[in-house]
Amino acid sequence: MFDCPFCGGKDLCGVSMDYEHSTGFIKCDACGAKYEMQINRLTEAIDVYSEWIDMCATATAPTT
């Protein structure tokens, strides 16, 4: 379980790893924020969460 970058909830985001379909999925149980990414057999739950955080930072970064 991980903290949500959107609502700030603690330990509300669970990761599902579907190696058969090469998909990792994370969702917040409180606010419903979610993220999906392509994974492989070496990917772990923390990798999905880290990628989600990186994508959030990229989306909110100011453009020049």
Q: What confidence tens digit (pLDDT) does each residue in 37-53 have? A: 999 999 999 999 999 99
When pLDDT is cut at 50, 70 and 90, the band that residue 56 belongs to is: confident
DSSP state of 19: G
What is 13-59's CATH number?
2.20.25.190
Window from 5-14, 29-38, 52-61 with minimum mean pLDDT: 52-61
Q: Is the pLDDT of residue 62 over 80?
A: no
Report d(CA 63, CA 22) in Å as an integer: 32
Q: What confidence tens digit (pLDDT) does each residue in 16-34 have? A: 999 999 999 999 999 999 9
pLDDT computed for residue 61 by the predictor: 67
Tokens representing residue 34 in the block:
């979610």
